[in-house]
Amino acid sequence: MPEKNIFKRIIDREIEAEILFEDDRCLVFRDIMPQAPVHLLVIPKKEIPSSNEIAEEDAELIGHLFLTIRRIAEEQGVAESGYRVVLNCGPDATQTVRHLHFHLIGGRSMSWPPG
Ligand code: 5GP
């Protein structure tokens, strides 16, 4: 059996994380190495390795993740000040965990373009 990735282990409560929100389809928890005052990871419970593997049938799930992002951004107080949603896909984008995730980053001003 293939080894579980770290986010699947967080979903299954095999390792600890500071979880802010959970429902039947997704989980939101704090990034272990925060890059800003607010740095959360929004992940589907479904095991999708990256955006390259998103299927037509996942369209509603992806919409649900974004509605969750919007709501959590409000709760975290960054909806008005602004925030960034980052999805890293593949080596050039420095994706390190092969489980689809959106970074929700806010609470400070940011620059563009990203490094
Ligand atoms: P990626 O580079 O794949 O887009 O981002 C993976 C993110 O997961 C990184 O920001 C990293 O800090 C975070 N991360 C890696 N391992 C853990 C962990 O065990 N717990 C938590 N909460 N975050 C993790």
pTM: 0.97
- Candidates 20, 41, 43, 104: which one to mutate for ligand 1, based on the most atoms within 8 Å of Cβ? 41
Give tens-digit pLDDT for 94-114: 999 999 999 999 999 999 999
The predicted pLDDT at position 1 comes to 65
Q: How far, in Å, CA of 46 to CA of 100, rounded?
A: 9
Q: How far, in Å, CA of 97 to CA of 22, rounded?
A: 20
Pocket of ligand 1 (CB under 6 A): 6, 17, 29-33, 41, 88, 94-97
Q: 97: CA distance to ligand 1 center in Å?
A: 7
- Annotation marks residue 101 as catalytic: yes
All structural domains of the chain: 6-106 (3.30.428.10)
Give tens-digit pLDDT for 43-86: 999 999 999 999 999 999 999 999 999 999 999 999 999 999 99
